[in-house]
Amino acid sequence: MDPAVQKQLENMGFQTIPIICGPTASGKTSFSIRTAKDLHAEICCCDSMQIYRHLSIGTAKPTEEEKREVPHHLIDLVDPDTPFNVASYLDAAYEKIQELLENGILPVFCGGTGQYVTALQKGFDFEGAPVDKSREEGLWKEYEKNGIEEIYQKLIRLDPECKEKIHPNNTKRVIHALALLETNSGTMREIRDQSTKNGPKFPFALFAIDWPREQLYERINMRVDIMMEQGILDEAKWLFEQNLPSDCTAMQAIGYKEFFPYIKGEKSLDECVELLKQHSRNYAKRQLTWFRHMDDVHWISSEELDEYNIRLYISSEYK
């Protein structure tokens, strides 16, 4: 950790940078806005879908009114056809953190993408685990010719733990993981541990919002209904009409892919809406599992959410 960074934070009265995370529809946005106002801070997005331009309703981006209340960063970084990964996110996040701190502004991170949160907290160093691009390109050609099954089986033989972590339908991640393993020695866990040996670049404190399961599912269902009223279907049609490759990250986003069967005349709109609710609930469950396996998380129950004060935990006086 750079001592100069710690000094910048201490001069503002803080010792850590908060990350507010949790499952979809848990109230992260409203809580982060209230927190940022209290801390005279600005919000940095920590969501792998909100980085895409043109996709606002389905990714639950902050509204224009919310952005007027508190400045938001790391939103609308690239177009949906632009490759963007965890390493890309860290580059953008670190640059924004340094810019804000140099101006005496505390960043408050907010989002539900577990990989982004973990990368920040652990300080992943992707320079230390390079990927042979020619090998990765070769695997894509192999996939186009023979499909993913043989590639996936090769990945599992090299690292059996990947069977629990990576679904075979996630083509991009399967291919990248195999290229990573074939470029570097060791398992994914060993490569990850090696990449974090220098620790995080900035001191972070994690806060995760927790709701009783049934209440969270009700909130998710209600959010989908609101998104329908806001025009999420039009966004899905726009994305579909871009004719992007099916393995493009934006095309796999929950909130859009569920409507493609309706657009193609294969399912009714009601069926697609119910599928979106189901996929959103499943995603929330995966998010909670991810965050529960992370270290040093301050859990905020739904009952205490309105009164919870992050300042108490990130102040330079907090022990």
Chain centroid offset of residue 314 CA: 22
CATH of the domain at 146: 1.10.20.140
Neighbours of 14 (CB within 10 A): 23
Q: Are residues 207 and 191 in the same domain?
A: no
Closest by alpha carbon to 169, among 141, 144, 147?
A: 147
Q: Are residues 180 and 87 in the same domain?
A: no
Q: Are residues 231 and 309 in the same domain?
A: yes
Confidence at residue 58, expressed as pLDDT on a 0 to 100 scale = 95
Q: How far apart are CA 310 and CA 250, in angstroms?
A: 33
Q: Are residues 132 and 207 in the same domain?
A: no
Q: Per-residue pLDDT averaged across 36-60, rounded?
A: 96
Q: Are residues 244 and 131 in the same domain?
A: no
The percentage of the chain sitting over the pLDDT mark of 70, rounded to a whole number, equals 94
Within a domain: 42: yes
Write out the residue range of the structural domain in which residue 175 sits: 127-195
Confidence at residue 200, expressed as pLDDT on a 0 to 100 scale = 84
Q: How far apart are CA 61 and CA 80, in angstroms?
A: 15
Q: Are residues 161 and 30 in the same domain?
A: no
Q: Are residues 183 and 306 in the same domain?
A: no
pLDDT range class, residue 41, cuts 50, 70, 90: very high
pLDDT tens, position by position, 158-181: 889 888 778 888 888 899 889 888
pLDDT tens, position by position, 106-151: 999 999 999 999 999 988 765 555 677 888 889 999 998 899 999 9
Confidence at residue 126, expressed as pLDDT on a 0 to 100 scale = 58
Judge if pTM exceeds 0.85. Answer: no
Is the sign of the CA dihedral 284, 290, 292, 294 positive or negative?
Answer: negative
pLDDT mean across residues, the chain: 91
Domain final residue, candidates 178, 195, 212:
195
Q: Are residues 17 and 159 in the same domain?
A: no
pLDDT tens, position by position, 269-319: 999 999 999 999 999 999 999 999 998 999 999 999 999 999 989 987 665
Domain final residue, candidates 195, 226, 247:
195
Within a domain: 299: yes
- Please state the φ and ψ torsions of residue 179, each to the nearest 5 degrees: -60, -40
Domain final residue, candidates 195, 213, 230:
195
User: What is the total count of domains within the chain?
Assistant: 2
- Between the alpha carbon of residue 132 and those of residues 74, 129, 138, 139, 177, the distances in Å are 28, 10, 10, 11, 11
Within a domain: 167: yes
